[in-house]
Amino acid sequence: QESQASGLPEYIKIVEVGPRDGLQNEKVIVPTDIKIELINRLSKTGLPAIEVTSFVSSKWVPQMADHKEVMRGIERHPGVQYPVLTPNLQGFHSAIAAGATEVSVFGAASESFSKMNINCSIEESIEKFEEIAKSARNMDIPVRGYVSCALGCPYEGNIIPAKVAEVSKRLYSMGCYEISLGDTIGVGTPGSMKRMLEAVMKEIPLSALAVHCHDTYGQALANILTAIQMGVAVVDSSVAGLGGCPYAKGATGNVATEDVIYMLNGLGINTGVNLYTVMETGNFICTALNKKTNSKVAQASFNTGTI
Amino acid sequence: AFPKRVKVVEVGPRDGLQNEKNVVPTAVKINLINMLSETGLQVIEATSFVSPKWVPQMADHTEVMQGINKLPGISYPVLTPNLKGFQAAVAAGAKEVSIFGAASELFTKKNINCSIEESLERFDEVMAAARAASIPVRGYVSCVLGCPYEGKISAAKVAEVSKKMYSMGCYEISLGDTIGIGTPGSMKEMLTAVMKEVPVGALAVHCHDTYGQALANILVALQMGVSVVDASVAGLGGCPYAQGASGNVATEDLVYMLNGLGIHTGVDLQKLMDTGTFICNALNRRTNSKVSQASCRL
């Protein structure tokens, strides 16, 4: 009722990226059993989608070397999606063999970032993803597309909205059911978020859009609010705000799931997620990682003993 | 549509330092305010003329007020909890003062041991003296989005207290989310009620970032036409009600957002960050500003 009156979506799907995006950007290598327990706990919070791991070469991403064991080891709760990253066809096949039923591919709106990150141009990366999309289509496996650097690039600086729209459209046309627009270095503000979404919304239906905001400059919640005011109803976040920023040493990265849910609860928007159990899960993984939480809600709640 | 200009009210030297554990030497406070005066900020809350028995951090209020460079065009308001404080403030050279009310009876009782009604009556004297001396008075309302003792606070109550303070002669009412529990939903509801009683041009928001909601709450306030926002350099000032939790929103992070929205503030972000670095070194603590954290390593 409250959310309807304000023009905001009634329901928002939260995509939990802590176990993959979060852990991948944490210095400490996490044992397989801890990863599995993290995901199992997250499965009990009501989260509808949990990004489990990445089928990438362990040479590049040692943290994700145990992708097969994690995929096979987790409990699969009915109604919960467990997507995994697949950077190429080989990774895709490996993921399927390990039991994956949804995959994600990562594009970028910046040529420089694409070159530095995956050593090929945007066009070349799209061609690789098309191979994956084709195989996935044959096997009825849904594919989620990510567009990095949607609001700025660590190498190129400003990124024009038209470029983000172009790359998004390519991913959507090849069959990605959802496009997650990532503010990879967190430089975006409500102004640039609005301009970027306006351009992308000309090419992609609103219902297929998600935002993946980093909180490196403290702008994430304001940017997410802007997106949901424009009708976006899928938001990525990371429990305890796991995952620093690889481009700004010591700075934060992902927005904390707890803080997002707190805001959405306050707006009367349904997420299906139990904030308290997410906080408990955040507490678990931070203890295991021997680090403080990046979630302000968790910081405030555990110190007053109230929620 | 957003306002074209926003006035940023810097509360670091008062609200910020008051809620920091370490007592800061007078010279450091003066240097902090002088550095802030070079950033383009138009309003810098300098100190509080409250009894040092209650707030030891502000015991040097007279020295600070007399010691700072007062640049033309910049306002240096000070808190005055009563007539005695007001007189001391004026004697020390203050040209603007602030008074503090609350939208919660229990908070008022615990904080200053009287009812809301009584607290406002105490300020009648201050208002009369201020009017006689042509000193502008800013009014603060605490607990506008929730109270650490009462919990939920009705928007109507906030509107009632705001109206009272505005009618008493306060030129601006700063609405404070004292424990930071507000969200864009409750901010909108509260402002809608208050804007029925007080013109939006006389309203300011004072958001705490204890639950990470400050910038989102400020965004909503801006969308509703509010154009005055309080903030604290480096996010100085913890939350006295949640140990270890953060308090004030960081001025750097606010200015970063306003810059991105194309809203004019007149503030130089780099100079602001440098000031934040200075005070954090002096306090031997890390900054609470994410913009500062990110920028110093790039």
Asked whether the predicted pLDDT for residue A306 surpasses 50, the reply is no
**Assigned domain for A7 exists:** no
Assign A189 to helix, strand or coil.
coil
pLDDT at B111: 85
Distance from CA of A49 to the nearest CA of B (A): 23
Strand order through the sheet with B78-79: B43-44, B7-10, B228-231, B203-207, B172-177, B137-142, B97-102, B78-79, B47-48
Provide the sign of the torsion angle of the four alpha carbons A197, A198, A200, A201, taken in this order: positive
Tell me the whole-structure pTM to 2 decimals. Answer: 0.95
Q: Is the pLDDT of residue A115 over 60?
A: yes
Is B261 touching A (CB cutoff 8 A)? yes
**Hey, which residues 236-255 in chain A have their CB within 8 Å of chain B?**
245, 247-252
**Predicted pLDDT at A252:** 82
How far is it, in rounded angstroms, from Cα B52 to Cα A55? 62
Convert the pLDDT of each residue in B173-182 to its tens digit: 999 999 999 9
In a domain, A94, yes or no: yes
In a domain, A217, yes or no: yes
Provide the residue type at B84 as one letter: K
Structural domain for A46, as ranges: 15-301
For domain B7-295, give the fold.
TIM Barrel (3.20.20)
Residue-level pLDDT at B296: 63
- Identify from A224, A225, A270, A278 which residue to disrupt to test chain B contact, counting B C-beta atoms within 10 A and taking the largest count: A225
Q: Whose structure tokens read 């004072």?
A: B206
Q: How is residue A31 annotated by DSSP?
A: P
Q: Specify the pLDDT at position A247.
A: 77
Query: pLDDT band at residue A2, thresholds of 50, 70 and 90?
Result: low
Residue A8 lies in a domain: no
* pLDDT tens digits, A86-112: 999 999 999 999 999 999 999 999 999
Q: Tell me the pLDDT band of A305, cut-offs 50, 70 and 90.
A: very low
pLDDT score of B20? 86
State which residue of chain B sits closest to A256, comparing Cα positions: B212
| A to B CB pairs, distance under 8 Å | 122
**A263 contacts chain B (CB < 8 A):** yes
Per-residue pLDDT of A250-277, as tens digits, reads 778 999 999 999 999 999 999 999 999 9
pLDDT higher than threshold 70 for residue A303: no
**High-pLDDT (> 70) share of chain A, %:** 97
What is the nearest CA distance from A264 to chain B, expressed in angstroms? 8
Give how many domains chain A has, as a whole number: 1
Q: Write out the E strands in chain A.
A: 13-16, 49-50, 84-85, 103-108, 143-148, 178-183, 209-213, 234-237
On the question of pLDDT at A70 being above 80, the answer is yes
In chain B, what residues touch A251 (CB-CB under 8 Å)? 290, 293-294, 297
pLDDT at A26: 87
CATH number at residue A38: 3.20.20.70
> Is the ipTM of this structure higher than 0.90?
yes
Question: Does some domain include residue A230?
Answer: yes
pLDDT confidence tier of residue A5, bands split at 50, 70 and 90: low
State the Rg of chain B over Cα. Answer: 18
Tell if the CB–CB gap between A263 and B184 is shorter than 8 Å.
yes
**Chain B nearest C-alpha distance from A298 (Å):** 8
Indicate the helix (H) or strand (E) that contains B19: none
pLDDT band with cut points at 50, 70 and 90 for residue A7: confident
Those residues of chain B that have pLDDT short of 70 are 296-298
Q: Is residue A148 scored above 50 in pLDDT?
A: yes
Q: Is A226's Cβ below 8 Å from some Cβ in B?
A: yes
**pLDDT for res A276:** 97
* Mean pLDDT on A207-224: 97
Mean pLDDT over each residue of chain A, to the nearest integer: 94
- Asked whether residue A235 is assigned to any structural domain, the reply reads yes
